[in-house]
Amino acid sequence: MTLPYTLTLVAQREAGLLTASMVEQARELVSGQPAVVLSEGEAVDIPCPAPAPGQPGLDATRASFMGQAVDVLLTRSRGRRKGLLVADMDSTIVSSETLDELATRAGVGEQVAAITRQSMNGEIDFAAALRERVKLLKKLSVTALEQTWAETKLTPGARTLVATMRAHNATTALVSGGFTWFTERVAAVCGFDIHHANQLGIQGGRLTGSVAEPILGREAKLESLRSLAGSRGLRLAATLAVGDGANDLDMLREAGVGIAFHAKPVVTDAIANRVDHADLRALLFAQGYRAADFSE
């Protein structure tokens, strides 16, 4: 009999392997069936019933691995492989905050980073924060954009995530509150089908200190998820979203599976499924892909 839920354990490979005793501990907690190995010593699926009142759930299972670099995700067993991926860029698909890196080159790094932290934690309005930060970059040379791009690194697993989902007929979209100058390049090297972001004002080889309206923020990310699903004839249950900041919350809540990736506290407090330790390959394991299924 197929059980309605699947508990997925994913170990951070550099920190240690999943052991048989760790897997058995989780299986007993959720009254699950024998584990299915997705990647030896790294990831397993445990088919399980829906958590009953008073029974250990996702939080309790996660707490049982406290101090160990193991992520715990719970998804519905039916329709696990998603037909649409919508991903945030900064601190998700790439490991840095590109706007903060630009600010450092402009000599206003600490000032802008403080605003970014407030914005990503949901303490101030995203659009207002973006306008304020971009204004501080006025007259910065386009050369700084090029230098920042040269030092921008993809998050481990990003290419594998996108390539594998595309190989299985999913649409992949990079939807960022950052800038098209970067999303265009990240989408190209990572293989995304689509990218949406904000447009920086540039004139005479320098930033104007402005950003085109309307600003792509929290509401626009949610609308992108909805419109992309609709245009592809997908129910929202068939979508996967990933992000780390407060402006990702609405799309994470509405996606079929929303995953908080190495996220801010305001996001991890609100989103049940999260990846705190592993890389972006964890999103494939959460969909039931085996490592042998991955595309590079």
44 bridge partner residues:
9, 37
State yes or no: is 269 an active-site residue: no
Contact by Cβ (8 Å): 278, 286: no
SS3 content of the chain, % helix, strand, coil (to 5): 40, 25, 35
Closest by CA position to 116, among listed 141, 91, 95? 91
* Strand intervals (E) in 77-118: 84-87
Candidate list 45, 71, 90, 100, residue with the active-site label: 90
Token match 């200190």: residue?
209
* Dist CA 255 CA 239 (whole Å): 5
| CA atoms within 13 A of residue 97's CA, in its CB half-sphere | 21
Most distant CA atoms of the chain, gap in Å? 66
User: Other CB atoms closer than 10 Å to residue 162's CB: what's the count?
Assistant: 24
Closest by CA position to 222, among listed 82, 88, 81, 74? 88
State yes or no: is 90 an active-site residue: yes
Candidate list 45, 71, 88, 248, residue with the active-site label: 88
Contact by Cβ (8 Å): 251, 241: yes
Catalytic residues: 88, 90
